[in-house]
Amino acid sequence: MIRVTPPQKIISFAENKSDLDKIAQFIKDDWAIVKLMPYGNYFIGVMEKMQHDNTINAQDQTVYIPPRKKIIFT
């Protein structure tokens, strides 16, 4: 089975309403935060595009389980 790596992007945001609204919109557009860590007054992370149509492969009966999401505090 060949798994294609989904698109990823790096994000940086602070805890203000405009930044959180942007992140919320990305999540509504099927992006998921896969890594997140604080950096001073900001958060730095990686978002990954979730592809729901590839979660079950009918030919070889495999199920895609997305990576575990972690929030790392240092």
- Per residue in 12-49, pLDDT (tens digit) is 999 999 999 999 999 888 898 889 999 999 999 999 99
Q: What pTM was estimated for this model as a whole? A: 0.60
Instruction: Identify the three-state secondary structure at position 17.
Output: helix
Cα separation of 31 and 36, whole Å?
14
Predicted confidence band of residue 73 (pLDDT cuts 50, 70, 90): low
The residues, any chain, with a CB within 8 Å of residue 53's CB and separated by 6 or more, are none
